Structure 1
């Protein structure tokens, strides 16, 4: 990396000569390294005495600011080693702009002891002048609570652009990030803030974060109103990521965040409501939250990517409300834990929707035709029902083998864009068979259909000959085999020759102790 930097910067020498008075060279301090360290030609009295001269000439006499820039490009360990070679590099080391302090940086071996990590960091910070730091990252350092305040006072100064604190405390050891760190000068330059495993309670007197564009909080103790206040004072924010923030019950995104385009909320188990007024939001992801989280995004005309896997009746809500509230959607991934009514057929359209993923509960899957009918540009569709497809309470009632085998019909509606359809957790539900047959009949552009009757990849092929597959619930295995039989009986002969059908099912070694392959049992 050092040599590449030299190759890029050496042509600048000619342009720098006219500025030598303002940019003083290093006066041979780097070339003098060979005298202090002792080159091979100097150690051997019979060596070529001109070798040292050629070595000194091979190091260009660049201005000090260029050498400073080269030093700043070095990885932290290499920059520290270079500081041992010359007084100039030592000066550069004391104002190095990027400090990434983590285990890979501090230790050359993965199994190195960690007892002295805090002492090593403390030595680095005490030898730093506290000026020129652009990026400061402190990650996975144990037993550092006695040092954190002093380290942050040195590192977080006006001019800093990125601050990352990823601490490794238990639930009862939360470091409270002091708001006094965010002085006027810091707030005017910081662009990225990432906090993990700590507490952060922004006070009312905290001023605006004028340049902050990215905020990530992971397992941070912060209240909903505190976060709302902080967001209201961050008008330049573009990306917000909240993970495992268990103190937030109500998340409100203020309307002043006109530049916010990405919002992700993951595993915030106490969250009950998300209300966003950021009208230019283009990507929203809600992962694995409480079942009753209410989501209100308003009219978000710029929304192109929506992933929401939480609320009850959200599938019906998405079909009824999103075409008008989010007319520019291109990717939609939704799911719910309970749907009280089937998905309605409506005249509204997702004109630009290309990729659809739905994870519904056990209900009338045939009603999901409404999404296909509303999406003239749809190219891929994933239906994931693995969480609910093998509920013993619904198997016999829904199975196509348990009642009438007469399939429902709908008026033909040709679809010319759908290329790929995949159903994960396919089982013998009659409405699921009806949905699949409808797609095969009406999706004229369909290239591939994948029906997976397992809970995912069974990895049967990876077992050695004669090996045993993983133990699974008996009801699950039997229903998976009924699903495969439903495919062979009602779907396989309806597949056009232009469509590649892939059926994923358990091998015959799965649960041989059942002593039965009879699908009617």
Structure 2
């Protein structure tokens, strides 16, 4: 049976309708969250609905890697140095335009910025960075990710070339999540906070960040709502002290590294469930034995550490320990988890070249994995 031309035109018109643009704005926001920023910007040309959805989208994501990848998709040849400079300039302009065109009434909940601190125009880039982060402070952003990397080798004394602007430091108490990489705090940045100022942070991640002792202590002492804390390969302090007031803290990830400046680690928070720790034996064993947080620890990961057999004298105090992961601990010859191993369900050991013996509680019936 043949379909009439009129009916075919009607069916074709139905198929051509933009059904997606008719979706509620929260769903359009959800779709935008899966797109690279440059593609999300392109969506504004689809219709007025998409344009409005992008303008009110509460997340702003500017990732230099994604920008280059998207540009490479449209320009198959690998960019040379000149093209890379042009693309970098386009990236800055893209961020400037996005911020300038943002409606004053549109809120920003999340701001992610990944930038390459390389090239002859570093001073200009740092100026741009300051402007963008002042915008973050003014918008009272709740979740901030700032990732400063460099494809060129830094000169002497320039390992952390970017200093966080003071308007942003002043705004830290309003953040709920802060993720920093490759930047530094000024000395005595803590002076901006009043005696009774409390932070709203539930998540704090510092990776390759330079932060002074006084500033680090000031920040941690004000984070009563903190749930997740990560301090990895950071410099500028000799003591890490997590106060008892961090009652909601559940997960800790510390990597102090061999040769670290850190001499003392003190964790007084008593509800920690998960611990990942890498560093020298004195730091690891001393802090675990001298702290109260081990009472609730359920998962323990030790990696890239110089711990010896004596470390496992503290494991009887881990009454709830259910999972232990040990990786790249080259000085470890034996592992003994006896009186504290009643709840242990999984032990994984890998790349511990000196390991000769493992002794477990007779009640252990869980999973044991050992890889040389």
TM class, shorter-length: 0.7 to 0.9
253 and 310 in structure 1: CA distance in 2 versus 1, 3 angstrom threshold: farther
Report deviation, 1:206: 2.4
Q: Is the 8 A contact 1:161 1:192 kept in 2?
A: yes
Q: How does 1:470-481 map onto structure 2 within 5 Å?
A: none
Partner Cα distance (1:214, 1:60) in 2 = 35
C-alpha contact 1:134 1:162 (8 A) present in aligned 2? yes
- TM-score, length basis structure 2: 0.72
Q: In the alignment, is the contact (CA less than 8 A) between 2:312 and 2:337 conserved in 1?
A: no
CA distance in 2 between counterparts of 1:310 and 1:285 reads: 11
- Aligned pairs for 1:177-192 (under 5 A) are 177-181=164-168, 187-188=173-174, 190-192=175-177
- The answer on whether the counterparts of 1:198 and 1:220 sit within 8 Å (CA) in structure 2 is yes
Say if 2:107 is the partner of 1:132. yes
TM-score (norm 1): 0.53
Aligned to 1:83, what secondary structure does the other structure show? helix
- C-alpha change, 1:158 and 1:62, in structure 2 (3 Å) is same
CA distance in 2 between counterparts of 1:61 and 1:358 reads 53
* SS at structure 1 position matched to 2:201: coil
Q: 1:123 aligns with which of 97, 116, 122?
A: 97
Partner of 2:180: 195
State whether residues 243 and 266 of structure 1, in contact with CA within 8 Å, keep that contact through their aligned partners in structure 2: yes
Counterpart Cα distance in 1 of 2:116 and 2:330: 42
Among 260, 263, 268, the alignment partner of 1:272 is 263
Q: 2:213 is matched with which residue?
A: 224
Q: Name the counterpart of 2:64.
A: 103
1:305 corresponds to: 299
C-alpha distance 210-78 of structure 1, shift in aligned 2 (>3 A) = same
2:184 aligned counterpart, secondary structure: strand
Output the CA distance in 1 between the equivalents of 2:183 and 2:315.
37
Aligned length: 324
Task: State whether residues 338 and 361 of structure 2, in contact with CA within 8 Å, keep that contact through their aligned partners in structure 1.
Answer: no
Task: Supply the distance in 2 between the matched residues of 1:299 and 1:284 (Cα, whole angstroms).
Answer: 10
Which secondary structure does the structure 2 equivalent of 1:176 belong to? coil
Paired with 1:362 and 1:67, the residues of 2 have a C-alpha distance of 56
Q: 2:38 matched to 1:77?
A: yes
Secondary structure of 1:132 counterpart:
coil
Gaps of 5+ in 1: 1-47, 335-356, 391-412, 425-455, 457-521
Name the SS of the counterpart of 1:140 in structure 2.
strand
Provide closer, same or farther for how the CA distance between residues 138 and 209 of structure 1 changes in structure 2, counting only shifts above 3 A: farther
The residue that corresponds to 1:260 in the other structure is 249
C-alpha displacement of 1:88: 5.1
SS of the equivalent of 1:220 reads: coil
**CA offsets per residue over residues 55-76 of structure 1, 9 Å max, x none?**
786558859xx34751563223
Change (3 A) 1:125 1:308: same
In structure 2, what is the equivalent of residue 341 of structure 1? none
In structure 2, what is the equivalent of residue 328 of structure 1? 320
Q: Are 1:145 and 2:112 counterparts?
A: no
Describe the SS at the equivalent of 1:292: helix
**C-alpha contact (below 8 Å) 2:21/2:49 kept by paired residues:** no
Mark the CA change 1:101 to 1:382 in structure 2 (over 3 Å): closer, same or farther. closer
Decide whether aligned partners of structure 1 residues 300 and 378 sit closer, same or farther in structure 2, where only a CA change above 3 A counts.
Answer: closer
**Secondary structure at 2:102's aligned position in 1?**
coil
Work out the CA distance in 1 between the residues paired with 2:26 and 2:349.
56
* Deviations 1:131-150, CA, capped at 9 Å, x for gaps: 31111111133443120111
Compared CA separation, residues 195 and 60, structure 1 to 2 (3 A): closer
Q: Are 2:170 and 1:176 aligned?
A: no
* SS across alignment from 2:116: coil
- Match of 1:167, SS state, is strand
Is 1:165–2:130 an aligned residue pair? Answer: no
Provide the secondary structure at the position in 2 that maps to 1:139.
strand
Structure 1 residue 286: deviation in Å?
1.2
Superposition RMSD on alpha carbons, in Å?
Answer: 3.7
